[in-house]
Amino acid sequence: MGKVFLYDATLREGNQAEEISFSVEDKIRITSKLDEIGIDFIEGGWPSSNPKDFNYFKEVKSLDLKHSIVTAFGSTAKPGVLIEKDVNLNDLLHADTEAVTIFGKSWDLHVIDVLGIDKDENLKLVEESVIFLKKRVSRVFFDAEHFFDGYKANPEYAVKVLKHAVNGGAECMVLCDTNGGTLPFEIEDIVAEVKKQISIPLGIHAHNDCEVAVANTLSAVRSGCLHVQGTMNGYGERCGNANLCSIIPDLKIKMGRECLSDKGLKMLHETSRFVSELANLQPLKHQPFVGDSAFAHKAGVHVSAVTKTSETYEHILPELVGNTQRVLVSDQAGKANILQKAKEFNLDIESNDPRAKDILSELKVLEKEGFQFEGAEASFELLMRKAMGLDRKYFDLIGFRVIIERKEECQLMAEATIMVRVGNKVEHTAALGNGPVNAIDNALRKALEKFYPQLKDTSLIDYKVRVLSSGEGTKARVRVLIESGDEKDKWGTVGVSEDIIEASWQSLTDSIIYKLLKDERADA
């Protein structure tokens, strides 16, 4: 079994996702990251499609890539245009890359109904386009668009398209499931048949419209494909592309195929997060291998087992892909969850310590009231410390007041006035905000920064409100989840009340107390 070559199309296919628009700088940074982990080919974009992609190919030349080969993408020549004059093909040359990829029609439906030409003319376009590029570029890949639909409709013609691309000098035939409608058993059978007729390496390009793009890719490799195309986090048109964050560990760990180094594999989690950050999208928490929940355990039975032997409920070691095991706390937790969290928080508590049982009982009561600690581990650590007599009073609230004012044709303005005591000193201050919670947050920080200047580095990253009992209207209890962060870490806190301001206050104060505790530990 030979090496499987990885071809990342995030910068083009991923950029076609509904929510994504990478800047040139984003694309340059992602290119560097993909090169760092060891991706073989990076499809930078389609230089004929927009100025941004054209500029990318200029900028990327300044990178000192150690492993990856940047590839320009385009199509075969347009019908009725001299090959040498075709704008798309010439733009591919102007991109000045070591490799280019062009796609051509392999489904006769598209040839006749979309291009509006006869099937023989399409074969000529494919072959002559590849010949034109191969004379001027060292490496040419051919993407057989809609190949599997085309093969099922007219296998003889679909394979004939491949043969004409081979005659033109392409070094790899990439079989594309462009509509994403083919199933794994079909992929495996069709690739096996094509391999008997095509002498050069085959590749696979799968879309996820049937939720089987990863399975289709693995099936294609089983049948002989050595070139795999996909995107980070599965970003792409419609339902997305084959997800390289799943394909890579499946190939390397599960199938034993050489594709990425152990070092590159360990960077997969951080690369997934890096790309989602530049895409301005929340990371996919439940994503296999690299999601935060991929190795998270909640049920007490699971936690009890996994803390003894991880393989009882984990199919691989999370460290292999740069991820970590997590134990969640909820009303489904057992004592094992509490002991494991105590270990993570460096709290000294034994299995026979009655405080463990007390913490578990309090946890279940709080969750019944609406608290949820799965996304608020900072609040849970403070709860455990309080139960163990290890809590620390950094400040006391004397009182606060919030005024919301709306003047005619003006936006709402909130002002919070707060009075706190730190030691034997009282601080009384006020601040404005674009809402009551923001105003309270600003006033509290303003009051405390005099005593704790490190709070200047802290910011509120995310704020979520969940109504817990919708049938009670405005009297309903609400849960407020806050994510805060500084230059080093992020942490979550929670508050619950019938009053949204009170719930927000609980979560905000937990966030500040946790920040002060965290910094105190770091300085110890």
Residue 338 pLDDT: 79
Q: How far is CA 246 from CA 123, 151, 179, 231, 273, in A?
A: 35, 27, 20, 10, 14
- With beta carbons less than 8 A apart as the criterion, state whether 231 and 272 touch: no
Kindly report the backbone phi and psi dihedral angles of residue 2, in degrees, each rounded to the nearest multiple of 5, phi listed first: -85, 175
The residue with tokens 């970003």 is: 235
State residue 40's pLDDT score.
98
State the Cα–Cα distance between residues 387 and 342, nearest whole angstrom.
Answer: 12
Q: Report how far Cα 65 is from the mean position of its chain's Cα atoms.
A: 23
Taking the model in full, what pTM does it have? 0.73
91 three-state secondary structure: helix
Tell me how far apart the alpha carbons of residues 66 and 64 are, in angstroms, rounded to a whole number: 6
Asked if 108 and 154 count as a contact pair (C-beta separation under 8 A), the reply is: yes
Q: What angle do CA 461, 462, 468 make, to 5 degrees?
A: 155
Per-residue pLDDT of the chain (524 residues; tens, 9 = 90+): 789 999 999 999 999 999 999 999 999 999 999 999 999 999 999 998 788 898 999 999 999 999 999 999 999 999 999 999 999 999 999 999 999 999 999 999 999 999 999 999 999 999 999 999 999 999 999 999 999 999 999 999 999 999 999 999 999 999 999 999 999 999 999 999 999 999 999 999 999 999 999 999 999 999 999 999 999 999 999 999 999 999 999 999 999 999 999 999 999 999 998 898 888 888 888 999 999 889 888 777 887 787 778 888 899 999 999 998 877 666 555 667 778 778 888 888 887 788 888 888 888 788 788 887 877 889 989 998 988 888 888 999 999 999 988 776 667 789 999 999 999 999 999 999 888 988 999 999 999 999 999 999 888 888 888 888 655 555 678 989 898 988 888 899 999 999 999 999 999 999 999 999 999 888 76
Q: What is the pLDDT of residue 1?
A: 72
pLDDT of 292 reads 85
Rg of the chain in Å (alpha carbons): 29
Q: What is the 3-state secondary structure (H, E, C) of 252-283?
A: HHHCCCCCCCHHHHHCHHHHHHHHHHHCCCCC
Residues 6+ apart with CB under 8 A from 405: 412, 413, 414, 415
* Separation CA 414–CA 406 (nearest Å): 9
Three-state secondary-structure class, residue 132: helix
Amino acid at 313: Y
In angstroms, the Cα distances linking 481 to 209, 359, 414, 471, 508 are 34, 21, 21, 21, 9
Q: Give the integer Cα–Cα distance in Å for 119 and 396.
A: 80
Structure tokens at 141: 């890949």
Sheet containing 490-497: give its strands across: 459-467, 478-485, 490-497
Nearest to 248 by CA among 8, 491, 494, 499: 8
What are the domain boundaries of the chain? 5-278, 296-362, 396-523
> Phi/psi of residue 404, each to 5°?
-115, 125
Cα distance between residue 44 and residue 8, in whole Å: 9
- Coil, strand or helix at 73: strand
**CA proximity to 323, closest of 290, 277, 286, 297:** 290
pLDDT at 330: 61
Q: Residue 14 has what pLDDT? A: 96
Question: CA-CA distance, 215 to 217, in Å (whole number)?
Answer: 5
pLDDT at 333: 59
> What span, in angstroms and rounded, lies between the C-alpha atoms of 207 and 224?
19
**What per-residue string of b and e applies to 239-255 under the rule 16 or more CB within 10 Å gives b?**
ebbbbbbbbbbbbbbee
Alpha-carbon gap, residue 382 to 424, rounded angstroms: 24
For 82, counting Cβ atoms within 10 Å of its Cβ (0-12 exposed, 13-18 middle, 19+ buried), the class is exposed
Q: What digits encode the pLDDT tens for the residues 478-512?
A: 989 898 988 888 899 999 999 999 999 999 999 99
Residue where the block lists tokens 């979550």: 492
CATH topology of domain 5-278: TIM Barrel (3.20.20)
Q: Which fold has domain 396-523?
A: Double Stranded RNA Binding Domain (3.30.160)
Residue with tokens 């923001």: 438
